[in-house]
Chains A and B, each alone.
Chain A
Amino acid sequence: MSEMKLTLKETFFRGIWKENPVAYQVLGICSALAVTVQMKTAIVMGIALTVVTGMSNLIISMLRKKIPSTIRIIVELTVIASLVIVIDQVLQAFLYDISKQLSVFVGLIITNCIVLGRAEAFALANDPLPSLLDGLGNGLGYGLILVAVAFVRELLGAGKIVGFSVIPQSWMDAGYSHMGLMVLAPGAFFIIGLLVWLKNSLPGASREEKTAQ
């Protein structure tokens, strides 16, 4: 890789903020639309993805000298898919209601480009510890955006925060009504778009800004 050696701390925090997978790399948008109607599902999805990216990066980094380059993508996918299936089984066993709400989206972590992207771009070229941190950082970065989007959508769309109603009845009586758009996928597009804009307009938040000067 052409990048300079980063400290472990930088490796971890880079994925969360500067090179956030959703807001900077624009990966994982599909699931970010799907699971952000409520904060509860967004939080669980964020945790599930963080575990998967962390573990897959760790395992792939440990195997990186052994993996034959001809079949490396298949090997990466096999590792990721197995991890996702195991997590899905665990959710079904211990968090059944949430697993029902997440329905197909947990299985779709396999096709989430963030996981394979980090395995290809980072884990194949770095030691296990930085790879683990990179995976966890990117997973958390994804989760952070998910929770932020879900917060806005749940608040405006259903008047709730993590399932608790926060809109007083007096507002409803006075003619307040929930914003139906927020419950639908286009609502998530607007919020994600605004978040990307907000993040990239903050000073020092993106790499483009530095190179532009």
Chain B
Amino acid sequence: MSEPAKSEQAKRRHAVKFAAIISVVCCLLITGASTGLKPFQQENRALDRQKNILRAAGIVALDAKPSRDQIQSLFREKIHEAVVDNRGNFMKPGEVQGLSLYLYREKNILKAYVIPIESRGLWGKIKGYIALEPDGRTVSGFTVYSHSETPGLGGEIEKAWFQKNFVGKKIYNSAHEFVSVSIARGSVDSLPRDTRINHVDGISGATLTGKYLTRGLKENLKQYEAVSVRLRNNKGIIRE
């Protein structure tokens, strides 16, 4: 605009040149930020997962906010990573492709085992952990560390009030069959008395999230049934 007699073609050339320069500069900026900050972000994610494992195992309270050092030292001290094959045999980590799980030990006595959960949600994957007591049937905790559910509705699955309800629930029914733990539609109190122990209160406005998570929990827990059966038979003692 400043040069009066600029031809139409020159203007167009200028626009293309300008667009190219802006694109390259912005690309470099974004790439720089993303690669430069990646180590910090990965550390944060790893720490967040460790925190959720500790919460699921009941080592830290669901609504507690432990510091970075607390998380790292508790995790190092009490959590032991393990791999099992599909018959529930423990293997050396990295040796064979198997199911990974985390053992929570206190003075060499198993207190809980934490199973990673990856479930379908309404809008994307729900990732979290469910911990079971050494009896192989009682839930000792449930947490979610990543999801894309609607905030305020399905997103409530990451809140302590929802997760607290899992504590003490059973993945076995009164007839000693594996039923997993399900998210009820509405309150658990509306269900028959003997199935209440296998259900947690649902979230109003998030029926589908509950449905998918129920299915996901069942699929994931089913895979680890061999470990749970083994523990039930051995009264909570694992031979590695």
Where the two chains meet, the residues of A that have a C-beta atom closer than 8 Å to any C-beta of B are: 34, 37, 65-71, 74-75, 78-79, 81-82, 85-86, 89-90, 92-94, 96-97, 100, 103, 183-185
Q: A66-B18, A85-B30, A89-B37 are in contact. Are A103 and B151 (CB under 8 A)?
A: yes
* 7 A–B contacts from the bound complex (CB under 8 Å): A65-B1, A71-B18, A71-B19, A78-B22, A90-B33, A92-B37, A103-B151
Q: Nearest A residue to B44 by beta-carbon distance?
A: A96
Q: Are B15 and A82 in contact (CB under 8 A)?
A: no
Where the two chains meet, the residues of B that have a C-beta atom closer than 8 Å to any C-beta of A are: 1-2, 11-12, 14-15, 18-19, 22-23, 26, 29-30, 33-34, 37, 40-41, 44-45, 47-48, 65, 151-152
- With a cutoff of 8 Å between Cβ atoms, the chain A residues found around residue B18 in the complex are 66-68, 71, 75
Q: Are A71 and B15 in contact (CB under 8 A)?
A: yes
Q: A65's contact among B2, B12, B33, B45, by CB below 8 Å, is which?
A: B2
- With a cutoff of 8 Å between Cβ atoms, the chain B residues found around residue A100 in the complex are 48
Q: Are A86 and B11 in contact (CB under 8 A)?
A: no
Q: Are A89 and B34 in contact (CB under 8 A)?
A: yes
In angstroms, how far is the closest chain A Cβ from the Cβ of B38?
A: 8
* Docked complex Cα distance between A94 and B68 (Å): 13
- With a cutoff of 8 Å between Cβ atoms, the chain B residues found around residue A66 in the complex are 18
Q: Are A82 and B41 in contact (CB under 8 A)?
A: no
In angstroms, how far is the closest chain A Cβ from the Cβ of B22?
A: 6
In angstroms, how far is the closest chain B Cβ from the Cβ of A80?
A: 10
Q: A74-B19, A96-B48 are in contact. Are A86 and B33 (CB under 8 A)?
A: yes
* Docked complex Cα distance between A86 and B41 (Å): 13
Q: Are A68 and B30 in contact (CB under 8 A)?
A: no
Q: Are A92 and B19 in contact (CB under 8 A)?
A: no
Q: Nearest A residue to B39 by beta-carbon distance?
A: A93
Q: Nearest A residue to B26 by beta-carbon distance?
A: A82
Residue among B12, B29, B41 with max Cβ neighbours from chain A (10 Å): B41
* Docked complex Cα distance between A85 and B35 (Å): 13
In angstroms, how far is the closest chain A Cβ from the Cβ of B69?
A: 16
Q: A34-B151, A75-B18, A78-B23 are in contact. Are A86 and B30 (CB under 8 A)?
A: yes
In angstroms, how far is the closest chain B Cβ from the Cβ of A67?
A: 7
Q: Nearest A residue to B23 by beta-carbon distance?
A: A78
In angstroms, how far is the closest chain A Cβ from the Cβ of B213?
A: 18
In angstroms, how far is the closest chain B Cβ from the Cβ of A155?
A: 18
Told that A66-B18, A70-B12, A89-B33 touch, could you supply 10 new A-B pairs with CB distance under 8 A?
A34-B151, A65-B1, A68-B11, A68-B14, A75-B18, A75-B19, A79-B26, A82-B30, A92-B44, A100-B48
* Docked complex Cα distance between A85 and B31 (Å): 10
Q: Are B152 and A184 in contact (CB under 8 A)?
A: yes
* Docked complex Cα distance between A93 and B40 (Å): 5
* Docked complex Cα distance between A75 and B33 (Å): 20
- With a cutoff of 8 Å between Cβ atoms, the chain A residues found around residue B48 in the complex are 96, 100
Q: A68-B11, A69-B1, A75-B19 are in contact. Are A93 and B29 (CB under 8 A)?
A: no
Q: Are B19 and A93 in contact (CB under 8 A)?
A: no
In angstroms, how far is the closest chain B Cβ from the Cβ of A86?
A: 4
Q: A85-B30, A89-B34, A184-B152 are in contact. Are A94 and B40 (CB under 8 A)?
A: yes
- With a cutoff of 8 Å between Cβ atoms, the chain B residues found around residue A81 in the complex are 26
Q: Are A93 and B30 in contact (CB under 8 A)?
A: no
In angstroms, how far is the closest chain A Cβ from the Cβ of B122?
A: 15
Q: Nearest A residue to B205 by beta-carbon distance?
A: A184
* Docked complex Cα distance between A97 and B64 (Å): 13
- With a cutoff of 8 Å between Cβ atoms, the chain A residues found around residue B34 in the complex are 85, 89
* Docked complex Cα distance between A33 and B40 (Å): 31
- With a cutoff of 8 Å between Cβ atoms, the chain B residues found around residue A68 in the complex are 11, 14-15, 18
* Docked complex Cα distance between A70 and B23 (Å): 16
- With a cutoff of 8 Å between Cβ atoms, the chain B residues found around residue A67 in the complex are 18
* Docked complex Cα distance between A94 and B29 (Å): 18
Q: Are B41 and A89 in contact (CB under 8 A)?
A: yes
Q: Are B26 and A93 in contact (CB under 8 A)?
A: no
Q: Nearest A residue to B158 by beta-carbon distance?
A: A100
